[in-house]
């Protein structure tokens, strides 16, 4: 983590102004109404965070009995799903610091044909604008990180679960600059449930009608969301982020589950000991989506 200097702790005083004209009162009043930082000893900004995690199934994938339809014609039922949330981190650019921005009309080297929220990478991947921005921002110098520890295993089947965040360092005070992104760091995903093959006849892939499934993936990954919130003079002091981390079934569409099934068995367990588990792990890692609702 970048070492934070102490400049942001300095107090901003109004000494010397004995007599204030009407216009000064008006300016001060308007700033106060706007909720801007102006009191002695207060920081330029102060962040507060809330994080909710949930397994989110779009309506067009919901089947009777709580099953989820996958695009490769499997029906997945989850009885338990859990992940360890390691930390939530704010990315902060210093005032005046240039953070590379992404222009779809002039994509960076390695990308082309940018439209509809994504670009075609030279290696054939479809990459979201946000991921390219993250890549560019990650390479920019001058980013500081405010990392809030969590280290909590979260079971998030059904309704969204609020995650208890750890103590925010430096009282979550923010120095002048721009909050350009937020990351949630995850580790270790475990799911338990069952699978059913929707194909029949010669196209059927699983022997049994129902296959019990336990999947353990020791992934370590960050899910990022881009922000552009200015902290400084004339801006509201408080920056509250309602973070919603959703795990989506779409990324499981490409997993060929039958490859893991032992002939004649009615259960499968996928863990790092299995050959090729990385494919499943990568798919699961891409299944996360982070969004943030900002309140100032």
Partner 1 sequence: MQKRGLWILVAVVMGWGGVACDEHDHDHEHAHSLDEHICRHMLEGPALEVVAAVALDESLPDVSQDHTRYDVRIAAPETGAPSGRVAFASGQAGDRVIAVNREVRLVVKDVDGVEVSAEAMTDNGHCEEVVAHHVYPLGVGTYEVGITLDADGLFTEDVWVSVIIEAAAHADH
Count the residues of the shown chain that bind partner 1, applying the rule CB under 8 A. 23
- Give Cα 97 to chain centroid, integer Å: 24
Q: What part of residues 124-183 is at the interface with partner 1 (CB under 8 A)?
A: 124, 126
8 Å CB contact between 36 and 236:
yes
Residue from the set 2, 9, 32, 113 that interacts with partner 1 by CB under 8 A: 113
Q: Which of 47, 36, 34, 88 is nearest to 240 (CA)?
A: 47
Stretch in the footprint of partner 1 (CB under 8 A) among 91-99, 117-125, 229-237, 280-288: 117-125
Site string for partner 1, 178-217 (x = CB under 8 A): --------------------xxx-x---------------
Distance in Å, CB of 73 to partner 1, minimum: 5
168 contacts: CB under 8 Å, gap ≥ 6: 47, 49, 146, 148
Cβ(179)–Cβ(92) under 8 Å? yes
What radius of gyration do the chain's Cα atoms show?
24
Q: Residues, the chain, total?
A: 296
In the complex, the smallest distance separating the C-beta of residue 200 from partner 1, rounded to whole angstroms, is: 8
Please, which residue, 140 or 198, has the CB nearer to partner 1?
A: 198
| Residue 34 in contact with partner 1, rule: CB under 8 A | no
**Interface pick for partner 1 out of 72, 100, 266, 267 (rule CB under 8 A):** 72
Indicate the burial class of 247 (C-beta count within 10 angstroms; 0-12, 13-18, 19 or more): buried
β-bridge mates for residue 92, sequence order:
144, 179
Contact region with partner 1 (CB under 8 A), list: 53-61, 166-174, 214-222, 282-290: 53-61
Residue 25: DSSP 8-state: H
User: Closest distance between partner 1 and the C-beta of residue 189, in Å?
Assistant: 21
Cα–Cα distance list, 94 to 1, 44, 58, 177, 241 (Å): 15, 13, 39, 5, 20
Q: Which string of x and - marks every residue 240-269 that binds partner 1 (by CB under 8 A)?
A: ----------x--xx---------------
Which residues form the interface with partner 1 (CB under 8 A)?
58, 60-61, 69-73, 113, 115-118, 120, 124, 126, 198-200, 202, 250, 253-254
């Amino acid at each position: 983590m970048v070492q934070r200097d102490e400049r942001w702790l300095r107090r901003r005083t109004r000494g010397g102004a004995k007599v204030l004209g009407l216009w000064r009162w008006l300016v001060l009043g308007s700033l106060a109404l706007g909720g801007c930082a102006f009191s002695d000893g207060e920081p330029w900004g102060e962040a507060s965070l809330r994080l909710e995690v949930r397994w989110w199934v779009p309506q067009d994938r919901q089947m009777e009995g709580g099953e989820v339809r996958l695009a490769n014609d499997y029906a997945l039922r989850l009885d338990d799903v859990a992940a360890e949330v390691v930390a939530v981190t704010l990315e902060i650019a210093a005032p005046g610091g240039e953070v590379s921005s992404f222009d779809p009309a002039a994509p960076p080297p390695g990308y082309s044909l940018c439209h509809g929220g994504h670009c075609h990478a030279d290696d054939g991947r479809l990459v979201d604008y946000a991921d390219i921005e993250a890549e560019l921002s990650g390479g920019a110098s001058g980013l500081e990180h405010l990392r809030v520890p969590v280290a909590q295993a979260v079971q998030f089947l059904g309704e969204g679960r609020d995650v208890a965040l750890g103590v925010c360092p430096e009282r979550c005070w923010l120095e002048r600059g721009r909050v350009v992104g937020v990351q949630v760091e995850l580790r270790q995903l475990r799911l338990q449930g069952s699978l059913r093959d929707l194909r029949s006849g010669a196209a059927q892939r699983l022997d049994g009608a129902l296959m019990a499934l336990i999947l353990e993936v020791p992934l370590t990954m960050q899910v990022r969301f881009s922000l552009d919130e200015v902290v400084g003079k004339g801006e509201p002091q408080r920056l509250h982020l309602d973070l919603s981390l959703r795990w989506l079934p779409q990324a499981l569409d490409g997993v060929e589950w039958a490859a893991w099934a032992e002939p004649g068995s009615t259960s499968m367990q996928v863990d790092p000991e299995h050959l090729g588990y990385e494919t499943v792990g990568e798919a699961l890692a891409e299944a996360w989506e982070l969004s943030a609702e900002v309140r100032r």
